[in-house]
Amino acid sequence: MSRQSKSVQVKICGLLTPETVKAAVEAGADYIGFNFYPRSPRYVTPQKAAELAALMPASVLKVALAVDADDATLDAIMAALDPDILQLHGDETSQRLVELKSRYGVTLMKAIPIAGPEDPIKSEIYRDSADLLLFDAKPPKSMKNALPGGNGLAFDWSLLAGQKPEIPWMLSGGLTVDNVREAIEATGAEAVDVSSGVEDAPGRKNPELIRKFIQAAKAVDV
């Protein structure tokens, strides 16, 4: 019996306007992310994120992105947005994830920055504490004002060869309409995440690029 193919899941991250949220929903996004990292050009307040999330059907999952946030910050995010997934994009330890799971009972996604062959292996420490992993490009130390993610950088996808974790994972980092098919085919990713790759400028999403990216990703069977 042949294996039944399925379409790739797509997460659009860092949305700031009703127009872009509606574009992502209409194009078939599976996840929409809201960025609560103050240094990011995609930063949104918990109240604003809640207003945007009200435009989403329950079938599209709400993701809250935080970077080494304290409990008070996360409490405010959880209270306003009630996200389906909490995406941790900083240096959070496995023990911190255990604490957050106990505190909020929410699905946890841990970002793993990738630059060299030793980096994918680091995901092992989150095997028992994370529900999802996100493999993203690690910015070089020489990059000025680098963010934890959303820098438009891709990593060498071959680094994931033979390093697939046991828990579900997404691919991120420098993905665009032009390379998302290649990225999926190279890594076997069943879910992809994009932010800067569908922008005209940092923080300014392009609705048409959102539509084209989702269409391109979902055209690839996995």
What's the CA gap between 85 and 90, in Å, rounded?
A: 15
Catalytic residue among 13, 30, 70, 193: 13
Residue 82 catalytic? no
Residue 68 catalytic? no
Start-to-end C-alpha separation, the chain: 16
88 has which bridge partners? Answer: 66, 110
To 5 degrees, how large is the angle CA 163–CA 159–CA 90?
A: 85
Catalytic residue among 70, 82, 84, 136: 136
Q: Tokens for 61? A: 């999952």
Q: Which helix (H) or strand (E) holds 192?
A: strand 191-194
Residue 66: phi and psi, rounded to 5, are -135, 155
- Residues labelled catalytic: 13, 136
